[in-house]
Amino acid sequence: MLGLCFIAILLLPFKPDITSKIFNFAGILSVLIFLSSPKVYLKNKIVIVAIPLFLIGITHLIWVELYKTSDTIYRNVYHGYFQMGKIALFGSFILLITHNALKNILISKLHLITATISQISILGYTVYQEFYLHIPRVELAFHNASNATGAAYAMIFLSLYAQFIFLSYCSRIKYYLYSLSILITFFCVVLTETRAGILLYPVISLCIFFLYFRQNKNLKLKFVLFPIIAALIICAIFSETIIQRMQSASNEIIAYIKNDSTSTSVGDRLSMIQTGFYASNGFLWQSAEERNSKIIELAKNDKRFAGAIEHMQAHLHNDLMEELSTKGWINGVLLILLFYFAIFAYGYKQAKNPFILGFTFVLIGLGLSDTLIISTQVSLSWILVLILMTSCFSSRLKLS
């Protein structure tokens, strides 16, 4: 099962459609394996994460079954929920199976090889798109609604996995590999020009390393400085791009506050957050048609909400507001918050690992500016990383 996950995550930046097929196949196998001995797998500590993920998947699929019609004009909304429903459902079973899988030196080496290849391949593909194809914003193979933004989020999650594996390596070279991963990923994320990623990635990476340092207080100062220097190097090289993107975000916020009707990325997101809240049906479910008709009415009464209309045919760019607007407070918002808490609790109590905690904060942080629990390709990236990282904790085997 882990072998399929290794292959899937390596193909994700280049062939996300093939990754999806491999993941679905792994999911079907995991369901069959689980059914052969459910009591054994339900004893896994990872069950606290698997259960809310399973519930997210089931409720997504039920919602689609209840409300989707053959003549709907909001096919993309239902498609997103259906795809994520499958991913969450299969992911919950894969989590249980891989967490119970046999661990040995070979598996540990495969983790290291996979992490290394993923970082090298992402760097190579980014350089190819930026300097050979001259694509304005690097997007890897995410040629759909996600584009550059989805590529940036996938880069960040894959980097967390690589950093986690590198720091598990029993050699001092691990600190160089870790710092190099920060350097590579920050470089690639900046070239996607995704503001949320540019802001969040260095902060989360350094916070994770600080937590790691607290667990390893005998760490030499030079190794502590390496990741900080790596982040500063990228900030210095791309200072003009970073400043320009941050200034653009500031201007968009000011324009939104001044009630400017011009459509902007930040302004549209703020519109979607508000309309998602106002268009909800409280504790009850509602169809995409009902939700979107309410958003249209809101936009008629307040032109600041017009930006939400442009995006409501896909999603509302915020996990909590998207879930609230379709599935209500309990099956939507509360279930997502329960999933966040489950990952955090597992990372803090069971795994006792800063990378699981960091993963949780990245999932929450990026989920406030986009939908990570609806987008197929981005969802595959974080769920594969979660599976591979948690699979390492059923034994304390370290790489040598």
Q: End-to-end alpha-carbon separation of the chain, Å?
A: 23
DSSP 37: S
Q: How far is the C-alpha of 396 from the C-alpha of 377, rounded, in Å?
A: 31
Task: Tell which residue, 391, 387, 307, has the closest CA to residue 108.
Answer: 391
Report how far residue 319's alpha carbon sits from residue 378's, in angstroms, rounded to the nearest whole number.
13
Residue 396 has pLDDT above 50, yes or no: no
| Band (389; pLDDT cuts 50, 70, 90) | very high
What is the average per-residue pLDDT within 161-185? 86
* Residue-averaged pLDDT of the chain: 87
- Cα–Cα distance, 376 to 390 (Å, whole number): 21
154, 196 contact by CB (below 8 A): no
Task: Tell me the percentage of the chain whose pLDDT exceeds 90.
Answer: 43
pLDDT at 399 over 70: no
Q: Distance between CA 220 and CA 159 in Å, rounded? A: 23
Q: Could you tell me the CA-to-CA distances from 388 to 121, 179, 342, 382 in Å, in that order?
A: 18, 21, 17, 10
pTM: 0.91
* 395: confidence class by pLDDT, cuts 50, 70, 90: very low
Question: pLDDT confidence of 397, banded at 50, 70, 90?
Answer: very low
107-150, pLDDT tens digit by residue?
Answer: 888 999 999 999 999 999 999 999 999 888 899 988 765 588 88
Residue-wise pLDDT for 35-70, tens only, equals 998 988 898 889 999 999 999 999 999 999 999 988
Tell me the average pLDDT across 359-369.
90
Q: Over range 379-400, report the average pLDDT.
A: 78
Rounded to whole angstroms, the Cα distance separating 297 from 378 reads 31
Give the pLDDT confidence of 78-107 residue by residue, as tens digits: 999 999 999 999 999 999 999 877 677 788
Q: What are the respective helix, strand and coil percentages of the chain, to the nearest 5? A: 75, 0, 25
